Amino acid sequence: MAANTLTEDKVRDMARDILGFEDSDYAISGTGQLTTFNKLGFKGVADKPDGWYLPKETSFPAIILEVKASNVRLRQPQVEELQKNCLIANGKYKYVIGILWNGEDIVVLKDGVRLDGETRLKNKEYYLGLFAENRIDTQKIFTLTKRINDVLHFKLGINNLYHRMIFTACALVAKREGAPLMRGMTYNTCRTAIREKLLSSNAEAIKKNAKLNILLEVFSEITMNQTADQEAVDRFIESVAEISDNINSDFWNGEDVMAIFFHEFTRYKGKSEQGQVFTPDNITSLMYRLIDVGMDDVVFDGTCGSGAFLVKAMCNMVKEAGGNRTEKARHIKQRQLYGIELHREIFALACANMLIHKDGKTNIENMDCMSVEATRWIQEKGITRVLMNPPFENKYGCMKIVQNVLDSVDKDVPCAFIMPDNKLEKNIGMARRLLLRHRLEKIIKLPEDTFTGVTTSIFIFRAKVPQDNAHIFACDIHDDGLETIKNQGRQDVRGRWKQIEDYWVDVIHRQSGDTSIRWLDPKEALSYQIEPADITPLPSDFRRSVLNYILFENHIDESAFGEAVLSHVLYGTPLPGHYAPFVKQSEQDYAIDASSWQPFSYQQLFSIVKGKRLTKADMTDGDINYIGATAFNNGIREKIGNNEHLHKAGTITVCYNGSIGEAFYQTAPFWATDDVNVLYPRFPINKYIALFFTTLIRIEGKRFGYNDKWTKEKMEKTRVRLPVTADGKPDFAQMEAYMRKRFAQFVTE
């Protein structure tokens, strides 16, 4: 035998150490030559595996090991021997991993199917994780989270949501470290046990990072209005124990459990707590893969919230390294994960989350990511990947945070940020300056329901590489496969996300393969804009425009008119006589055929001018119309005497903020507020043509929302489809004729 040949015994010992095969509370595990399957609980089976990992819960996967000396090539007979032993294990376990190893080469079977790409032996947690995507009982985590929230909020009286989350997270840390939390403990005994375990188990971590004391301080500040409800205390302890079992077992992916837990808790947020947005687990997983994070990277999150990105990175990197018991895993946890969180209570929550996953040093700092201190701190860490979901609103410094992070990391570092779709375009000056130093490479639009109330995209930058007019890859993930479950938020109930994620990671890396792909010129667009479908106006749309205008001309309040008509239709209430002409209409056919209409930009048709703000304090009395962001009274909010910035009659006003898209024809000089665009026609106009346009403008305005204002610049680029003449020009005569016909419905005409 050659001197460098490894004997089978030596290979078996090496495999035991790498795999981490030792008995635990959850499984019997070991290696040897003499132990039969019969001794392992498989009655009457005399075959002898070289190694085994057999969970006490048979619904969890088992691992069977076969080893050979290093000079034995792994051929079909050796594989068949492994397959035979795996079939024996299948007698009790539905899920079985088989491993054949000679110290150099390896064969891995997952439920009898050989896996490609396996080149080295890893810790058992990696192989158990091959089944993890189908094993999280999300419904159970949702149920437990709701139970905990209800107990802490309504039974024990913790009114602050973050305090409820922190109290629970600290209990999970303590439970993981062995705190004796049991039924029958009083609230005070339970609280003391949690605090003492936090202090004793994390004393070394606190020495390395004194700011972990904030976690203890916040925990000490949590007060309960009711502490004598023993049943509530018992329910809390039981629920914490159930979640803890899922996090701590050798099989469960704890990061997924906590992501579900935190995401579910945030559904109970009040309006005063909306500044902090927690990133859904499916998005943290996607972003990790999009910027190719690996086990040797140093990952940073400058607004880390509860620590979702850092925990996702930690668990994926550790899995790649071979599991928690490897030296590389310890290095990852202590020196490759860094975060900043300004909000003191959320910082405490992030620390607890990282401690739950035994991250070691917990390299999270409580500071402002926009500060000089933060800049120096980031520069010292050797960051190689950035994953962030900064606060969306400008008042929290979204763009300043992004800029400071990009300025602070080294050249070529990929940085992925979640931001509102239009964040860069709404801050165009700052965005242009940003692109002078940093390159925006990709924009990935996320599904509309990813975050409540705002549509978002992932913006991937390469730090300190100027844009230099390089085009931007963009695509639209229009569907994530998640479904809304009543009272439980959006969930992957059909298990579709993994396949969807794989598809988009492949498309985005190849930058091809999907019809949504576009290449954006940074001089023209810094967001993924969905191409609007053609809108065909209905006769009722024009009827509304005409009726509202006639009511205005006749000084009839639109709201009072609507209430009177509704009462008349529903209850037979007599209709006031002066309303009757506007209700009795002929039954003519007012259908309109828009199939041959052609598009024109608003800039071609109008000169668009933004209104000017006038405060209440500066208004003077008079009879000049003041046009504001309202949907009523032809846009007139006030009568004023100010005449410095008046617009001409014969123009159209359009709200681009507030009542977005509400449009009115103005027949007298007026002042327009700064939430209104004024359209000066480049063609002869009268009330008929004007009301034709206001109808189309109102329909188009529905595309825009509060977070995507229809600004002057956007309106100039917006296209409207119109009837055309034989030579392809707008057919104003046809527009006028149609609207005259609509006016003729009403006896006032």
Q: Which tens digits make up the pLDDT trace of 684-699?
A: 999 999 999 999 998 8
Hey, what amino acid is at 592? I
Identify the weakest region by mean pLDDT among 19-28, 468-477, 622-631: 19-28
What's the whole-number mean pLDDT along residues 2-27?
A: 86
Burial tier of 579 (Cβ tally within 10 Å: 0-12, 13-18, 19+) = middle
What's the whole-number mean pLDDT along residues 544-571?
A: 76
Confidence band, pLDDT 50/70/90 cuts, at residue 1 = very low
How do beta strands 364-365 and 337-340 pair? parallel
pLDDT, tens digit (0-9, with 9 covering 90-100), for 138-196:
677 788 888 998 999 999 999 888 899 889 988 988 887 788 889 999 999 999 999 88
pLDDT, position 683: 94
pLDDT, position 389: 94
Asked if 477 contacts 287 with a C-beta cutoff of 8 angstroms, the reply is: no
Confidence band, pLDDT 50/70/90 cuts, at residue 277 = low
Confidence band, pLDDT 50/70/90 cuts, at residue 262 = confident
- Give the whole-angstrom CA distance, residue 278 versus residue 264: 10
pLDDT, tens digit (0-9, with 9 covering 90-100), for 587-599:
455 778 888 999 9
Q: Which of the given ranges, 65-69, 527-531, 614-618, 742-746, has the highest pLDDT on average?
A: 65-69
> How far apart are the two ends of the chain, measured CA to CA in Å?
109
Confidence band, pLDDT 50/70/90 cuts, at residue 464 = very high
Closest CA to 170 of 158, 179, 161, 182: 179
DSSP state of 660: T
Average pLDDT, the chain: 86
pLDDT, position 296: 95
Q: Is the pLDDT of residue 2 over 60?
A: no
Confidence band, pLDDT 50/70/90 cuts, at residue 488 = low
Q: Is the pLDDT of residue 363 over 70?
A: yes
Confidence band, pLDDT 50/70/90 cuts, at residue 273 = very low
Q: Is the pLDDT of residue 540 over 60?
A: yes
Hey, what amino acid is at 738? Y
Identify the weakest region by mean pLDDT among 308-322, 363-377, 717-731: 308-322
What's the whole-number mean pLDDT along residues 11-29?
A: 89
pLDDT, position 362: 67
Q: Is the pLDDT of residue 586 over 60?
A: no
Confidence band, pLDDT 50/70/90 cuts, at residue 502 = very high
Hey, what amino acid is at 448? E
- Give the whole-angstrom CA distance, residue 505 versus residue 510: 8
Evaluate if pTM is beyond 0.75.
no
Beta bridge partners of 100: 66, 107
pLDDT, tens digit (0-9, with 9 covering 90-100), for 110-130:
989 999 889 899 888 788 878
Confidence band, pLDDT 50/70/90 cuts, at residue 208 = low
Asked if 406 contacts 434 with a C-beta cutoff of 8 angstroms, the reply is: yes
What's the whole-number mean pLDDT along residues 294-318?
A: 91
pLDDT, position 748: 47
Q: Which of the given ranges, 161-175, 458-472, 549-563, has the highest pLDDT on average?
A: 458-472
pLDDT, position 274: 44
Confidence band, pLDDT 50/70/90 cuts, at residue 749 = very low
pLDDT, tens digit (0-9, with 9 covering 90-100), for 48-86:
999 999 988 787 889 999 999 999 999 999 999 999 999
Confidence band, pLDDT 50/70/90 cuts, at residue 248 = low
pLDDT, position 235: 93
What's the whole-number mean pLDDT along residues 480-489?
A: 75
Q: What are phi and psi of 106, to 5 degrees?
A: -145, 145
pLDDT, position 105: 94
Q: Is the pLDDT of residue 728 over 70?
A: yes
pLDDT, tens digit (0-9, with 9 covering 90-100), for 401-449:
999 999 999 999 999 999 999 899 989 999 999 999 999 999 999 998 8
- Which residue's entry shows tokens 């000049």? 624
pLDDT, tens digit (0-9, with 9 covering 90-100), for 80-105:
999 999 999 999 998 999 999 999 99
- Give the whole-angstrom CA distance, residue 148 versus residue 378: 37
pLDDT, tens digit (0-9, with 9 covering 90-100), for 653-672:
998 876 778 899 999 999 99
pLDDT, position 705: 55
pLDDT, position 226: 80
Asked if 564 contacts 579 with a C-beta cutoff of 8 angstroms, the reply is: yes
What's the whole-number mean pLDDT along residues 485-507?
A: 83
% of the chain at pLDDT higher than 90: 48
Asked if 450 contacts 421 with a C-beta cutoff of 8 angstroms, the reply is: no
Between the alpha carbon of residue 107 and those of residues 103, 183, 639, the distances in Å are: 11, 47, 83
What's the whole-number mean pLDDT along residues 201-216?
A: 70
Neighbours of 587 (CB within 10 A): 6
Between the alpha carbon of residue 534 and those of residues 539, 699, 723, the distances in Å are: 16, 11, 14
Which value, in Å, is the radius of gyration of the alpha carbons in the chain?
33
Q: Is the pLDDT of residue 227 over 90?
A: no
The DSSP secondary structure of 150-205, one letter per residue, reads HIIIIIS----HHHHHHHHHHHHHHHHTT----TT--HHHHHHHHHHHHHHHTHHH
pLDDT, position 447: 92
